[in-house]
Structure 1
């Protein structure tokens, strides 16, 4: 199989694309195909096949979104015929990172193609200082849980007042926030390999909703296009007819713009973990460690109970003590830290009714979509990986397909083989 062919039988293509999308690189896919499937292809042949199929999947996705957007609004906010709405539908969005290489930047040499995962192409959103750009990741989850007559967990779990864990969590989340502004697009990542927040000590809980199915959406397109893309996927899954609908996100304004524009009928929930980091930072700002920890415990218990108004009052008083931040204040100054927390609480207070959410059986953390971001990063993110826009979009789509529980690639291969042979096939034969 040493001949450089651009088309292979569907069954063979399926193996090649699976390896290319689920390994860390095309080079690793080449090695796995040779060792595990006795398929002798170069990494460039694997790449070409992935690009061709990825291009088809992106075209199918975009056509489906365009078709959905042409439907009357009342239809798009209902349940499609033949689809059963879930009892609890959850939408979560977040941003990942990957490098887009720009040809022609002053003083930059074009890297050898065989070192990188994709060929080179100009970035429509060039940055003068970094190649790091943002990809948008969305998770659509069907979940199961029970509604309760009262809060099933009125006492805050011990790990949220664990003095050995919370400081480290806050430090890691602060590093992620400082990697770039959430108000611009794309967000550069000067620390691309910073670790994700450390896992909390495993609690014993019975009230947390359980995930039944997961469908993922990913793109390098702008947020204005990502929102309708997510809404179309949610509509096809019947989410707009679910009796309980949730939109989960962290404090980034881009997330809540998607909610306002495309999911305003969903209950908005601010990720509790990010709230923890803001509360901890504001409580410790300008205080000795012991004094700050006492304040943190008091404030985070109020947040857990849904009594955000008390925290806003306390933050307002603390801001008055410290004074209003000025232009001379660094981002880490106590006045700036408290002001940031106060602004976040005021902007998000209606998304922080955590006691009500627990009673209704709704999730309160966005770890579901954050774990999905890690799975995308596994394939597309790395200091040695550079993509062009088209190649990145194609790979993000393939990665979303393979990570989704409904296995859209299985249906794709059946459709593709049927279109080429003129016969419907229920399985791919080698």
Structure 2
């Protein structure tokens, strides 16, 4: 799918000798999108009434549903041409995948990946300034790395992906994703995972529509909070880095209670934040990180997820959002609500592997 209607029109003229304006391409795209939205909504309503049958006859072995939110630029409607009252809004995206993976009797990777012990990678991964990364400014020594047995290639591999993308609220989004999972016969799978990051509405969707799935909070987001807490606790670069490594390894190995105990001790040492504290206050940063882990501790049983061959990151949906953004974000692109919903439906169909546009 091309990034603009005008470029699509030029491509049609060049490759198919079809003379059409960008505006006409836009109208046709929105018409197709409206049909897709109507079909999708009918499927969700049938699911709500418990009258939706699976459209896929085979029974998948392993499945995952990953959800996340993106952002798109919008404009006020009914105010003429141009971007009136431009602002950013959230679109919600779900990636539903069938997988191939192997279950194991023991944790196939008890030690964290080497990249989680690479300072520059950790700084980029957690969106921290490179200039403030431990070891770059102060030259701190690396902590000893615990040797691990030969790594088993346990990560699940994607087979078939379908997508849901919408501008609607989380309640409506949950209905759409639940219906798509039902249509793909996900409920028959032997191993099922629901993966997301921290927002409460993700887990409200999981409890309402995917209660029988294993709930997994994205480990990369967890490590971001561990890194922030390690830095907020102060000390030398070496002390901060070693504190991060202990917390990261503890979370990776499912010893979250130990990580929280250390965070609580550090919070007691530096004090609770006052009510008027800034978001960047180290006491606020540490309290926020500790709260994130406490809220998600039940979804951080990573050794068990790896044993079951389930994903521990939301990387599939995050990659999908980038593919969605290729069409809906860009210079001078401002959508009205109906146009955004239609184009998101078309984009989701294009990015799905089931050829639903055929």
User: When the two structures are superposed, what TM-score results if normalisation uses the length of structure 2?
Assistant: 0.90
SS at match of 1:146: coil
- Measure, in 2, the Cα distance between the counterparts of 1:84 and 1:172: 45
Structure 2 match to 1:168 = 124
1:244 to 191, 204, 208: 191
CA contact (8 A) 2:55 2:185 kept: no
SS of the aligned residue for 1:165 comes to helix
* Cα contact 2:112–2:249 (8 A) shared by 1: yes
Residue 313 of structure 1 corresponds to 261
Q: Displacement of 1:276 after TM fit?
A: 1.0
Q: CA deviation at 1:110?
A: 4.8
Task: Note if 1:145 corresponds to 2:101.
Answer: yes
Residue correspondence of structure 1 range 189-204 to structure 2 within 5 A: none
* Unmatched 5+ stretches in structure 2: 130-150
Residue equivalent to 1:49: 28
Quote the residue 2:73 is aligned against. 99
Residue 287 of structure 1, CA deviation: 2.9
What do you get for the CA RMSD once the two structures are aligned? Answer: 1.9
1:393 aligns with 2:341: yes
Query: Is residue 62 of structure 2 the alignment partner of residue 83 of structure 1?
Result: no
| 2:299 pairs with 1:341 | no
Deviations along 1:318-340, whole A, 9 cap, x unmatched?
A: 11011111123211111111101
Select 1:326's aligned residue among 268, 274, 279. Answer: 274
Give the Cα separation in 2 of the matches to 1:246 and 1:210: 14
SS in 1 for 2:357: helix
Unpaired segments of 5 or more residues in structure 1? 1-21, 121-127, 174-203, 411-430
Q: Structure 1 residues 82 and 383, CA, compared in 2 at 3 Å: closer, same or farther?
A: closer
Report the Cα offset of residue 382 of structure 1. Answer: 2.1
Aligned partner (choices 379, 384, 397) of residue 332 of structure 2: 384
2:65 counterpart SS class: strand
User: Is 2:228 the counterpart of 1:281?
Assistant: yes
Question: Does the Cα contact within 8 Å between 2:56 and 2:184 map onto a contact in 1?
Answer: no
Partner residue of 1:133 out of 79, 83, 89: 89
Output the CA distance in 2 between the equivalents of 1:359 and 1:274.
21
Distance 1:344 1:205, change over 3 A: same
Q: Deviations over 1:96-140 (max 9, x none)?
A: 111120147xxxx8544xxx8xxx8xxxxxxx8x61001110010
**Stretch moving more, 364-373 or 48-57:** 48-57
Q: Name 1:19's counterpart in structure 2.
A: none
Conserved 8 A contact 2:196-2:202: yes
Instruction: Name the structure 2 match of 1:359.
Output: 307
Q: Distance in 2 between matches of 1:138 and 1:97?
A: 14
CA distance change for structure 1 residues 81 and 131 in 2, over 3 Å: closer, same or farther?
Answer: closer
Cα separation, 1, equivalents of 2:43 and 2:293: 38
Q: TM-score, normalised by structure 1?
A: 0.75
- The 1:172/1:249 distance shift into structure 2, 3 A limit, reads farther
Output the CA distance in 2 between the equivalents of 1:264 and 1:406.
26
Are 1:215 and 2:162 an aligned pair?
Answer: yes
Shift of 1:82: 6.0
Q: What are the superposed Cα offsets for residues 287-309 of structure 1, whole Å, 9 maximum, x if unpaired?
A: 33221001001111111111101
Q: Shift in Å at residue 84 of structure 1?
A: 2.0
SS at match of 1:409: coil
CA distance in structure 2 between the partners assigned to 1:392 and 1:89 by the alignment: 29
